[in-house]
A and B are shown apart, each in its own frame.
Chain A
Amino acid sequence: MALKIVKGSIDRMFDKNLQDLVRGIRNHKEDEAKYISTCIDEIKQELKQDNIAVKANAVCKLTYLQMLGYDVSWAAFNIVEVMSSSKFTYKRIGYLAASQCFHEGTDVIMLTTNQIRKDLSSPNQYDTGVALTGLSCFVTPDLARDLANDIMTLMSHTKPYIRKKAVLIMYKVFLKYPESLRPAFPRLKEKLEDPDPGVQSAAVNVICELARRNPKNYLSLAPLFFKLMTSSTNNWVLIKIIKLFGALTPLEPRLGKKLIEPLTNLIHSTSAMSLLYECVNTVIAVLISLSSGMPNHSASIQLCVQKLRILIEDSDQNLKYLGLLAMSKILKTHPKSVQSHKDLILQCLDDKDESIRLRALDLLYGMVSKKNLMEIVKKLMLHVDKAEGTTYRDELLTKIIDICSQSNYQYITNFEWYISILVELTRLEGTRHGHLIASQMLDVAIRVKAIRGFAVAQMATLLDNAHLLTGNTQRNGICEVLYAAAWICGEFSEHLEDPMQTLEAMLRPKVATLPGHIQAVYVQNAAKLFATVLQKHEGETDSQAAQETSQLLIDRLPLFVQSANLEVQERASCILQLVKYIQKLQQKNVEVAEEVTALFAGELNPVAPKAQKKVPIPEGLDLDAWINEPPSESESEDEKPKVVFAKEEPKHYRSRHTEVDEKELARRREVRKQEQANNPFYIKASPSSQKVYDAPGVEHIPVVQIDLSVPLKVPGMPMSDQYLKLEEERRQKEKAERKKKEKKKKREKRGKGRKADSGPESEEDITPAHQVDIVTEEMPENALPSDDDDKDPNDPHKALDIDLDKPLADSEKLPVRTHRPEVLKSPAEDRDSKSVPQETKKKSSKEKKEKKKDKEKDRKRSKEEKKKKKKHKEVEEELLESQPEEAVQSEETKEAAAPPTSTSAEEVTAPSSAAAVDTSSAAAPESEPDEPKDTEPEDTKSSKHKKKKQKKEKEEKEKKKKKRHHHHHHHGDAGGEDSVQNGTVEEEEPLPPMSNYSLLAENSYIKMMKEDAEQVYDIQGNHQDESKVVVSVIFENKSDSFLKSMEFNVLDSLNSKLQRPEGAGPHDGLTVPFQLPPGVSNEARFVFSVQSIVMPQKLKGTLTFIVKSDESSTHEKLDFKLHFTCTSYLITTPCYSDAYAKLLESGDLKGSSLRLEGINMPFHHLLARICFHHHFSVVERIDSCASMYSRSIQGHHVCLLVKTSDQTVSIDAKCDEPSLLGNVLDEIKQTFSKC
């Protein structure tokens, strides 16, 4: 062994270490990839060596290469090897590599469970720390489930260093294994008041993170946090708490009211900008949550805004940025307070820092009003011209459109101006937002009927100058607007002054260079224009011109018929044939215009974006039901039905609109009128300023006199600025007029609800330049007015939406490592414990059944269940495969030999006591009621327990499954005994759970339970001949009094000594690092040093403690005996069969054998028992024969050959230390004599 180390360290001198690798890479700048690939080859060689130092060095280099982007997942197994090194140096390298490259898909992760568990319970705090850090990066649901309990125990570790890490990692565990949240929460809460500030901060951190996602479950913690906030001086903690309050206040306004004062105080007192900023943020959240209009809070708003102004004015760009960010939050509820700082914000628009400009833009959104919209947009347009980068310019563009279109164009008083802005925006080069502008153009033209004339004229100009937009390939994004322009010109062609010219523009050969979907629109709308032109000419009886138009189309359309785009081709050839036919008719002098126009008759109404979603599903229609059986599992499940629907959807809703009849239209108009009357933002027309326009189906729409002095015809460049001036004048005029009217005591009442006071110009006083009818979007008739924003169903945090105030149910306990039965274990319990895996097995078989049943209905769920089943199986397998410490998902913690004191009375209180002891560490105390010895109450008890469990499952699963569950659980109870008697159990049968907690001592006050000393370490270095054993003891307070000042003392023997802190005498007791309130239990660990391990040992000890009740406090003591068996010195060590064979051949080992009669358990159970209770691992198994291996902490090899026939088991054993072997065999015999 030592020779190997030497050899290794000599080898190592020739290996490259990390520094050499880095140097090498730096020296091979030209052929870096080649150099690295040779390095990787070297690393592969190094990993093949046995020496751990070489391996660790290789893994360390891999970590560096991983950072450079090389996939190193192939070395995952080697990383696990390095992780399991006993040397901290290597272990740390291994864990670092694992944390960098392991993830849920890494399959070797499942091999690490036991290693991590061992490291977690290491006496060296840094081993534990490294394991926790690593685990935090690669924890998987399986790891989380198996290790949750170990980590939870660490949360009460004596070292704050471990405690804080354990607390933090719990968040990751919760995410991966949500079931652990409820059982762990009480302890997490406890940590909020940990004496160590680091632990406290970690706990605050975790709870804040949890509460952020599901705040309502954490409201009950508010008082505690409130206390912390007022007492803590740690800014980090304060910031977190204050942020948390920000998340909580929207749910509980009363909390908000309470918060205002301390927060205001903090704002005034703190010098830390970060804290100040978070306080302001939370005050804002509070103010938002309190329905506005609380007069006494306006001071708070003022304070916030004023502080933010200071931030924004600061020269530090970071503060400026954050100030703007917070300002935008105030804006939502108190726009007035922000608007007064408009100057400051506009100033920020000129800042050189893009982040700041973007934030300022956000603010602008909320600051516009009817009054200043034009002015602000003008300023933004200036920025658009100046903007250097396209990203910022695009951002500006979207912001302009957002600002203008917000709340249904609420602030736009002059749509001509808006159209001009949109047209001006088309001049932007290389913008990505062509489609956005296009959709705005379409939206405005469709919904604002009054503007159509103007819009059409502008669009015609655009089409005419299309070459300006398409000329440069870089401008491709913007050509989308031509789509809108063509459609508008076609659809509203009656407004065109010179349709012929537009038609020609649309049929230019250059159009063929546009994208297909735009060409298609061109062709279609050319046909519409054609109809209009025909009608016009026939009205003027100008048949010559009409025929010329037809000829034009016939000449130009073939170009499109040849298009590569199918849509264009199809439309063009249809229309071409149609035009040819029309031409024939024209030559016969038949009037066709009427009929051609009829092709495009009817008006298109805008449809609300959510309309389709709101169509109620008719009763009896199950959209999730399969129409046909899905073909096979391998095909992706979601894809198929979606495609079907995507195709059908548009069909449905298009037909809706064509079917709308006159009556329906009238009805809708009524509804719309009603709606508009109730809409405060809808401005009613004032009859004086409108011309009546009579058109069928159209309301009285005011039409504006277009000022022809505006140079509309400037190609593609309408001057939006002009409107600003015009608008000013118009407003002035209107104001004057209104005043005049006022004086005359107006004869006519103005529009409903319109104020007409002559005070300073207020928002309402600004009448739009022309009345607009913003057509409301259509919705299905009986749409449900629900506005549910659907959350992402894949959000991992959704699973953590768990009620934490409910008392903890028995069934929710964390899975604990299955425990070994101890010396005094009663048969009744053994039987009881048997029923548990029975149940898990039943469950999985049930799931199998269910899976089949639900297959058609819900494939996804069945998949999940399959996964679950797989997990169950895995657990079973792992147990078999020599991983005795593997956790079985059983909630029960059986412990040995409780005196038969518990009666049915105690059982009745069981659920409530379980609730009370939720601070308990492992499941141990909670399982206390399960413990009675006599079989009678035991049975009722366990069935009761099952029921409880079932209750929980009921919550989770659907109700219909409940009955089946019920059945199975009861079956499971009975099945417990079956499995024992029935000798021929199928191979699949799961193993009985094994417990390793044994009762140490008990009196009326306290119960001590010892976990079998399984955490055994051989200490490295110079203490070669001394080993350490860690004993976990659970202390449970059984009385109604408070237990404190507990001291644990053991009478040392020559061989075994309790490890006492430095400076303590050999007879001093160890203080137990906690106190126990009534009903609570906790776990403490004690380290013993042991010299010889060949004999079992018994140590006498005493626990002294003070019982403190309301009236009195008394000193009490409890004697106990600690039993160290020989097996507890064995460590499960895997061994390969060839090494095993060599070992047996060597002849150093002395033999012994053992015969066991009347063993009627399946062979794999037998093996699992030996593995579990005696720390062996299976080397090889052939039929009913197996070889097993284990190693003692002092390096003794123990080999077993187990054979079974009928009910006899013979064990041949070899070991280099005969007395150890004899004792181990005795212990094995004892184990099996108990069952």
Chain B
Amino acid sequence: MIKAILIFNNHGKPRMSKFYEHYTEDTEQQIIRETFHLVSKRDENVCNFLEGGLLIGGSENKLIYRHYATLYFVFCVDSSESELGILDLIQVFVETLDKCFENVCELDLIFHLDKVHNILAEMVMGGMVLETNMSEIITQVEAQGKMEKSETLTLLFICQSMRQSQASRFSSKIS
């Protein structure tokens, strides 16, 4: 099981957090701070695994992270997950983000938190890995994006027709 997925930047500012167990907002922030503290002091060329922090689950859990430019992607997992598998999953996640945002950068994540969540939801569900095939993930994300777009288009269409009818009513009044 994956217990939490955190994205924060080099200064520890959270960019996305997804907890698969309930914590209060304060504890969540504490966990993010603690995790950042643990992860940030590690050198670049050391291993990507870390004995879990004290807050999430304790000794049974592991932090598996990757550092990309300004962002840390941290997965907190228990012993049932394969360490190398999760590392691959992080890679898939980041590549998917890259495809969906076209050259993803930190700003994309900041301004489109909901989209990041939606992409993640196609990969991990309730702490369990749902899909690891990148093209499948992208297909589903795009299909949902299309749906959203068509809905907003319909809305616009209705708006337009309303405006027209209003206008015609208005003109009929005048005449």
Chain A residues with CB under 8 Å of chain B are 2-3, 5-6, 9, 18-19, 22-23, 26, 53, 60, 63-64, 66-71, 87-89, 92-93, 96, 100, 103-104, 124, 126, 129, 132-133, 136-137, 161, 164-165, 168-169, 171-172, 198, 201-202, 205-206, 208-209, 212, 235-236, 239, 243, 273-274, 277-278, 317-318, 320-322, 352-356, 358, 1020-1022
CB distance from A1105 to the nearest CB of B (A): 34
Q: Is the CB of A137 within 8 A of B151?
A: no
Q: Is the CB of B125 within 8 A of A243?
A: no
List of B residues within 8 angstroms of A352 by Cβ = 43, 46
CB-nearest residue of chain B relative to A235?
B85
List of B residues within 8 angstroms of A26 by Cβ = 110
Cα-based distance from A132 to B122 in the complex (angstroms): 11
Cα-based distance from A137 to B21 in the complex (angstroms): 8
List of A residues within 8 angstroms of B43 by Cβ = 352-353
Known: A100-B18, A205-B129. 15 other contacts (CB 8 A): A9-B155, A9-B159, A19-B111, A67-B113, A133-B121, A171-B126, A206-B128, A239-B85, A274-B84, A317-B45, A317-B47, A353-B43, A1020-B154, A1021-B154, A1022-B154
List of A residues within 8 angstroms of B130 by Cβ = 164-165, 168, 198, 202
CB-nearest residue of chain A relative to B154?
A1021
User: Can you list 29 A-B pairs with a CB-CB distance of less than 8 A?
Assistant: A6-B159, A18-B111, A19-B111, A63-B113, A71-B24, A88-B147, A88-B148, A89-B148, A96-B117, A100-B117, A126-B143, A136-B125, A136-B127, A164-B131, A165-B125, A165-B130, A205-B129, A235-B85, A236-B85, A243-B82, A277-B82, A317-B45, A317-B48, A318-B49, A352-B46, A354-B42, A354-B46, A1020-B154, A1021-B150
Q: Does B136 contact A (CB under 8 A)?
A: yes
List of A residues within 8 angstroms of B163 by Cβ = 6
Q: Is the CB of B14 within 8 A of A68?
A: yes
Q: Does B118 contact A (CB under 8 A)?
A: yes
CB-nearest residue of chain B relative to A389?
B41
CB-nearest residue of chain B relative to A86?
B151
Tell me the chain B residues, 10-38 only, with Cβ under 8 Å from chain A: 14, 16-18, 20, 22, 24-26, 28-29
Give the number of residue pairs across the A-B interface with Cβ within 8 Å: 162
Q: Please judge, given known A-B contacts A18-B113, A92-B118, whether A355 and B51 are in contact too, CB under 8 Å.
A: yes
CB distance from A977 to the nearest CB of B (A): 46
Q: Is the CB of A209 within 8 A of B114?
A: no
CB-nearest residue of chain B relative to A9?
B159
Tell me the chain B residues, 102-141 only, with Cβ under 8 Å from chain A: 110-114, 117-118, 121, 125-133, 136, 140
CB distance from B126 to the nearest CB of A (A): 3
Q: Is the CB of B125 within 8 A of A132?
A: yes
CB distance from A597 to the nearest CB of B (A): 49
Q: Does B168 contact A (CB under 8 A)?
A: no
Cα-based distance from A355 to B45 in the complex (angstroms): 12
Q: Is the CB of A317 within 8 A of B46?
A: yes
Cα-based distance from A3 to B22 in the complex (angstroms): 41
List of B residues within 8 angstroms of A353 by Cβ = 43, 46-47
Q: Is the CB of B80 within 8 A of A208?
A: yes
Query: Which listed residue (A9, A63, A136) contacts B126, Cβ 8 A?
Result: A136
Q: Is the CB of B82 within 8 A of A69?
A: no
Cα-based distance from A815 to B83 in the complex (angstroms): 39
Chain B residue total in the interface (Cβ 8 A)? 61
Cα-based distance from A619 to B117 in the complex (angstroms): 60
A-facing mask of B44-83, CB < 8 A → 1, else 0?
A: 0111111100000000000000000000000000001011
Q: Is the CB of B85 within 8 A of A274?
A: yes
Q: Is the CB of B83 within 8 A of A318?
A: yes
CB-nearest residue of chain A relative to B27?
A69
List of A residues within 8 angstroms of B88 by Cβ = 274
Query: Which listed residue (A23, A66, A124, A161) contacts B25, Cβ 8 A?
Result: A66
Cα-based distance from A1020 to B158 in the complex (angstroms): 12
Q: Is the CB of A2 within 8 A of B1?
A: no
List of B residues within 8 angstroms of A1022 by Cβ = 154
Tell me the chain B residues, 79-101 only, with Cβ under 8 Å from chain A: 80, 82-85, 87-88
CB-nearest residue of chain B relative to A272?
B84
Cα-based distance from A126 to B22 in the complex (angstroms): 25
List of B residues within 8 angstroms of A206 by Cβ = 128
Q: Is the CB of B158 within 8 A of A2?
A: yes
List of B residues within 8 angstroms of A274 by Cβ = 82-85, 88
Cα-based distance from A18 to B130 in the complex (angstroms): 28
Query: Which listed residue (A22, A67, A235) contacts B111, Cβ 8 A?
Result: A22
Q: Is the CB of A71 within 8 A of B25?
A: yes
List of A residues within 8 angstroms of B16 by Cβ = 67
- 3 closest A-B pairs (Cβ-Cβ)? A136-B126, A274-B84, A317-B47
Cα-based distance from A103 to B20 in the complex (angstroms): 10
Cα-based distance from A6 to B152 in the complex (angstroms): 12
List of A residues within 8 angstroms of B167 by Cβ = none
CB distance from B27 to the nearest CB of A (A): 10
Q: Is the CB of B158 within 8 A of A5?
A: yes
Q: Is the CB of A318 within 8 A of B125?
A: no
List of B residues within 8 angstroms of A168 by Cβ = 125-126, 128, 130
Cα-based distance from A168 to B122 in the complex (angstroms): 12
List of B residues within 8 angstroms of A66 by Cβ = 25
List of A residues within 8 angstroms of B125 by Cβ = 132-133, 136, 165, 168-169
CB-nearest residue of chain A relative to B26?
A69
List of A residues within 8 angstroms of B22 by Cβ = 103-104
CB distance from B75 to the nearest CB of A (A): 14
Q: Please judge, given known A-B contacts A22-B111, A318-B87, A353-B47, whether A126 and B162 are in contact too, CB under 8 Å.
A: no
Q: Please judge, given known A-B contacts A5-B159, A92-B144, A206-B128, whether A69 and B111 are in contact too, CB under 8 Å.
A: no
CB distance from B36 to the nearest CB of A (A): 13
List of A residues within 8 angstroms of B87 by Cβ = 318
Q: Is the CB of A212 within 8 A of B131?
A: no
CB-nearest residue of chain B relative to A64?
B113
CB distance from A84 to the nearest CB of B (A): 16
List of B residues within 8 angstroms of A71 by Cβ = 24-25
Cα-based distance from A171 to B111 in the complex (angstroms): 33
CB-nearest residue of chain B relative to A234?
B132
Cα-based distance from A208 to B128 in the complex (angstroms): 11
Cα-based distance from A67 to B154 in the complex (angstroms): 32
List of B residues within 8 angstroms of A67 by Cβ = 14, 16-17, 113
Q: Is the CB of A355 within 8 A of B50?
A: yes
List of A residues within 8 angstroms of B155 by Cβ = 5, 9, 53
Cα-based distance from A355 to B156 in the complex (angstroms): 56
Q: Is the CB of B26 within 8 A of A355?
A: no
Q: Is the CB of B80 within 8 A of A60?
A: no
CB distance from A514 to the nearest CB of B (A): 29
CB distance from B92 to the nearest CB of A (A): 11
Cα-based distance from A353 to B47 in the complex (angstroms): 7
List of A residues within 8 angstroms of B151 by Cβ = 87-89, 1020
Query: Which listed residue (A93, A198, A317, A318) contacts B114, Cβ 8 A?
Result: A93
Cα-based distance from A603 to B52 in the complex (angstroms): 45
List of A residues within 8 angstroms of B121 by Cβ = 96, 133
List of B residues within 8 angstroms of A96 by Cβ = 114, 117-118, 121
CB distance from A383 to the nearest CB of B (A): 17
CB-nearest residue of chain B relative to A213?
B80
Q: Which of A19, A89, A322 has the most CB of B within 10 A?
A: A89
Cα-based distance from A273 to B85 in the complex (angstroms): 9
List of A residues within 8 angstroms of B136 by Cβ = 198
CB-nearest residue of chain B relative to A88?
B147
List of B residues within 8 angstroms of A235 by Cβ = 85
Q: Which of B1, B26, B130, B159 has the most CB of A within 10 A?
A: B130
Cα-based distance from A71 to B25 in the complex (angstroms): 6
List of A residues within 8 angstroms of B154 by Cβ = 1020-1022
Cα-based distance from A161 to B127 in the complex (angstroms): 17
List of A residues within 8 angstroms of B143 by Cβ = 126
Q: Is the CB of A205 within 8 A of B45?
A: no
Query: Which listed residue (A88, A100, A171) contacts B128, Cβ 8 A?
Result: A171
CB-nearest residue of chain B relative to A72?
B25
CB-nearest residue of chain A relative to B163?
A6
List of A residues within 8 angstroms of B110 by Cβ = 22, 26
CB distance from A8 to the nearest CB of B (A): 9
